């Protein structure tokens, strides 16, 4: 197959697996992005996320992750839900956590896609990732034209929004490469103004990760800082504020992935149910969920912090 035919095949197979969009960039060092990451780390914006400091060279150059890599394929998978939590006073979950853990769901789809490519072109040296390796996912998505990195530092795709998981294939195969697109945030600053912890810089495009509600409720170990009391706006796991207020997310449409449907009964949990949740109920409700990352003690720490 020539590069054009192979690229078309990749797009077709990815769509059949439920991926919304696919774009491809040449595998090379991300020089400008490396300088920006180094500055971000030096400011301490990673907080306790020390893993962000690891494998710096691999993080900025995919050829150090996959020998002979020629292409970085970035894929988008919609997770915008059709349902909402029914009790407006209940502790809130980020939308991506309503269903099964996306790491498991998407990794399986990526492996299938890699197998289909191998069947078509022969032996491929490649690896698949979804938020699971030192890869600058949003930068590769931007470079390949899937969208632009908005003022909230998330990838925004025209006429689709930002409620998408990103996933990657790094391959020693050449394709027809895509080009970046323009930034369309303009003068909008809704995400900046809406962030209750001032995690987004005054001019946007820079996130102090150590101030983000998602960081506090998922990544931070130990006690939550008292100075943040009353600023979480009822978020117990993750936070969607800067996405919910983004005008581009008016284009969001419900996903079609059964694995991302909420566990039965999850949307009906009342405020009382959350505060009285036992470890047994936690294990049942969040058995295959990303929420299990906090463990029972972590989630209850977050919930109690909302009440105090």
Q: Token pair for residue 196? A: 């209750």
Catalytic (active site) residue 131: yes
Answer for the pair 191, 202: CB distance below 8 angstroms, yes or no. Answer: no
User: In the beta sheet, which residues pair with residue 77?
Assistant: 165
What are the CA-CA distances from residue 292 to residues 15, 107, 187, 240, 289 (Å)? 29, 18, 38, 19, 6
Q: Which of 61, 87, 104, 131 is catalytic?
A: 131
What are the CA-CA distances from residue 181 to residues 20, 88, 149, 159, 241 (Å)? 17, 38, 10, 13, 25
CB-based contacts of 55-58 (< 8 A; 24+ apart in sequence): 55/134, 56/134, 58/133, 58/134
Nearest to 117 by CA among 22, 26, 9, 17: 9
The position carrying tokens 């006429």 is 159
Nearest to 263 by CA among 93, 110, 118, 137: 93
Q: In 59-163, where do the E strands start and end?
A: 71-78, 92-93, 126-129, 148-149, 155-156
Task: Decide: helix, strand or coil at residue 62.
Answer: helix
Can you give the three-state secondary structure of 255-302, one letter per residue?
A: CCCHHHCCCCCCCCCCHHHHHCCCHHHHHHHCCCCHHHHHHHHHHHHH
Task: Decide: helix, strand or coil at residue 231.
Answer: coil
- DSSP letter at 219 equals I
Q: How many CB atoms lie within 10 A of CB 247?
A: 14
Q: Which residues are catalytic?
A: 131
């Amino acid at each position: 197959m020539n590069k054009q035919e192979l690229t078309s095949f990749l797009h077709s197979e990815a769509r059949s697996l439920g991926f919304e969009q696919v774009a491809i960039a040449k595998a090379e060092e991300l020089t400008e992005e490396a300088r920006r990451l180094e500055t971000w780390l030096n400011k301490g914006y990673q907080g306790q996320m020390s893993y962000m400091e690891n494998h710096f060279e691999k993080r900025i150059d995919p050829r150090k992750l996959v020998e002979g890599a020629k292409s970085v394929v970035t894929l988008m998978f919609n997770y915008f839900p059709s349902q909402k939590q029914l009790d407006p006073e209940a502790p809130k979950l980020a939308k991506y956590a309503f269903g099964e853990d996306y790491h498991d769901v998407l990794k399986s789809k990526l492996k299938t896609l890699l197998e289909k490519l191998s069947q078509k072109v022969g032996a491929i040296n490649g690896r698949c990732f979804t938020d699971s390796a030192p890869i600058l996912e949003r930068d590769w998505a931007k470079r390949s034209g899937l969208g632009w990195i908005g003022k909230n530092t998330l990838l925004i795709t025209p006429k689709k929004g930002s409620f998408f998981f990103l996933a990657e294939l790094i391959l020693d195969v050449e394709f027809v490469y895509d080009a970046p697109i323009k930034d369309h945030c303009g003068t909008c600053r809704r995400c900046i103004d809406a962030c209750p912890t001032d995690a987004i810089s005054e001019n946007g495009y820079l996130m102090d990760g150590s101030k983000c509600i998602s960081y506090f409720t998922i990544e931070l170990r130990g006690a939550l800082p008292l100075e943040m009391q009353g600023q979480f706006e009822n978020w117990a796991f993750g936070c969607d504020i800067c996405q919910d207020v983004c005008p581009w997310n008016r284009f969001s449409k419900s996903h079609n992935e059964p694995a991302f449907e909420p566990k039965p009964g999850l949307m009906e949990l009342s405020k009382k149910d959350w505060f009285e949740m036992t470890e047994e109920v936690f294990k049942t409700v969040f058995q295959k969920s990303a929420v299990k990352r906090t463990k029972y003690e972590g989630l209850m720490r977050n919930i109690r912090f909302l009440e105090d």
